[in-house]
Amino acid sequence: MYPVIEWKEGAVVMLDQRQLPAVEKFIVHRNHLEVAKSIKEMVIRGAPAIGIAAAMGIALGVIGLRDDPNVKNPAYLDEKFKDIVAVITATRPTAVNLFWAATRMEKVFRENKTDFSRLQEKLIAAAIAMDKEDFAINRRIGENGQELLQSGYTVLTHCNAGALATGGYGTALGVIRAAREKGKDIKVIAGETRPYLQGARLTVWELQREQIPVTLIIDNAAGFVMKKGMVQAVIVGADRIAANGDTANKIGTYALAVLASYHGVPFYVAAPLSSIDLRTRDGDRIPIEERDADEVTQFCGQMTALPETRVFNPAFDITPASLITAIVTEEKVLHPPFATALASLKELRRK
């Protein structure tokens, strides 16, 4: 797999996803401010990948303090660490993985802050471990989820919940990959995912590299392809799953779930436990990021609406638990009622 994000010689290297599929270019980040900017501007995107970037960004931020003569002052170091975390977590509000990763890094900080050189090593190790772990988690999600897909299925997916959105392999695309590795004949329909085109630019790029058959549709064609019986399952990722199973994911996911329900097509969510937020009771309480009007008034840099047009551009929506057939995690596949199923997850209770 291609390195989406990598810790390399004291810097964080990211594949610039804004330029795919036309250009494969890497950006080197030397401090946490650069990492925060790249998360916000979507050089890296996708909930688990954002979490890994956050962890690496926090590690970079602390390393940046090494020549500061005041780091031996515990109150000063605490304050500086808080500032670094605040910059990183202010980037994108919806994907809970970002906050989950920051909390994990805070724990490492608390346990090691009395020895600054050990602290740096431990933070770097924790961030790198998160990346590796995520890959292994996605393999387990794939293994669990592939049971839901039968040979001959065409699966519709939205946005990009693949290797590019994670530490590798992907969540929704991981399930598809795992099914194909079992020898099942699975084809994919990818929605283009206006306005940022993660489906067209990223999902198609990923799948084509592996010769996984993929057909691109405009988002508005989803109802038509379901009506024609061209889709046997919908599978998407998640940015945050609330305690009752309501799921935030890329804008347009909710509409797909409604369409799937109307046409009797199963609707699956594949996500790691780090995307589950039991502290948020339901979807109404999940913060939804709103992005720039330019993404809507322009297409590939060309104006498609008058510049003064009033725009509403939510990046995510909420799919109610009642429209979800199953949630695939690395621990197991969850079935309704999701409130009970989510509360029963052993790994989450341990944390």
Distance of CA 323 to the CA centre of its chain: 21
Q: Which is nearer to ligand MRU, 119 or 161 (CB)?
A: 161
Between CA 25 and CA 151 the distance in angstroms is 36
Find the binder of ligand MRU among 29, 32, 45, 187 (CB under 6 A). Answer: 45
The yes or no reply on residue 315 touching ligand MRU (CB under 6 A) is yes
**Measured CA distances, 118 to 28, 62, 75, 123, 263 (Å):** 24, 12, 18, 9, 57
Q: Which of 289, 317, 294, 324 is nearest to 307 (CA)?
A: 294
**Dihedrals phi, psi of 58, to nearest 5 degrees:** -65, -45
Q: Which helix (H) or strand (E) holds 49?
A: helix 47-63
Nearer to ligand MRU, 77 or 131 (CB): 131
Contact stretch for ligand MRU (CB under 6 A) within 44-52, 141-149, 255-263, 324-332: 44-52
Q: Contact between 237 and ligand MRU (CB under 6 A)?
A: yes
Contact status: 88 vs ligand MRU (CB under 6 A): no
Name the segment binding ligand MRU (CB under 6 A); options: 164-172, 182-190, 255-263, 294-302.
Answer: 164-172
Please select the residue that binds ligand MRU; options are 166, 244, 297, 319, rule is CB under 6 A. Answer: 166
Q: Is residue 240 near ligand MRU by the rule CB under 6 A? A: no
Question: Within 174-213, which residues bind ligand MRU (CB under 6 A)?
Answer: 198
Cα within 13 Å of Cα(135), Cβ side = 12
Is residue 159 at the binding interface for ligand MRU, with CB under 6 A as the rule? yes
Does residue 127 interact with ligand MRU by CB under 6 A?
no
What span, in angstroms and rounded, lies between the C-alpha atoms of 94 and 285? Answer: 11
Backbone angles phi and psi of 303, in degrees to 5: -65, 130
Residue 57 CB, shortest distance to ligand MRU, in Å, is 16
Going along 78-200, which residue ranges are E strands?
154-157, 187-191
- Under rule CB under 6 A, residue 161 binds ligand MRU: yes
Three-state DSSP class for residue 168: coil
Note whether 95 binds ligand MRU by CB under 6 A: yes
> Is 5 among the residues that bind ligand MRU (CB under 6 A)?
no
Among 4, 15, 48, 203, binds ligand MRU (CB under 6 A): 48
Among the listed ranges 102-110, 115-123, 163-171, 226-234, the one in contact with ligand MRU (CB under 6 A) is 163-171
Contact 134, 54 (CB under 8 A): no
Active-site residue, selected from the candidate residues 16, 134, 219, 239: 239
Helix (H) or strand (E) holding 267: strand 267-270
250 forms part of the interface with ligand MRU (CB under 6 A): yes
The residue at minimum Cβ distance from ligand MRU is: 237
Q: Tell me whether residue 284 is one of the annotated catalytic residues.
A: no
Given a contact cutoff of 8 angstroms between Cβ atoms, the answer to whether 248 and 306 are in contact is no
Non-local CB neighbours of 257 within 8 Å, separated by 6+ positions: 234, 267, 319, 320, 323, 324
Q: Which residues bind ligand MRU (CB under 6 A)?
A: 45-48, 95, 159, 161, 165-166, 171, 198, 236-239, 249-250, 315
Active site residues: 239
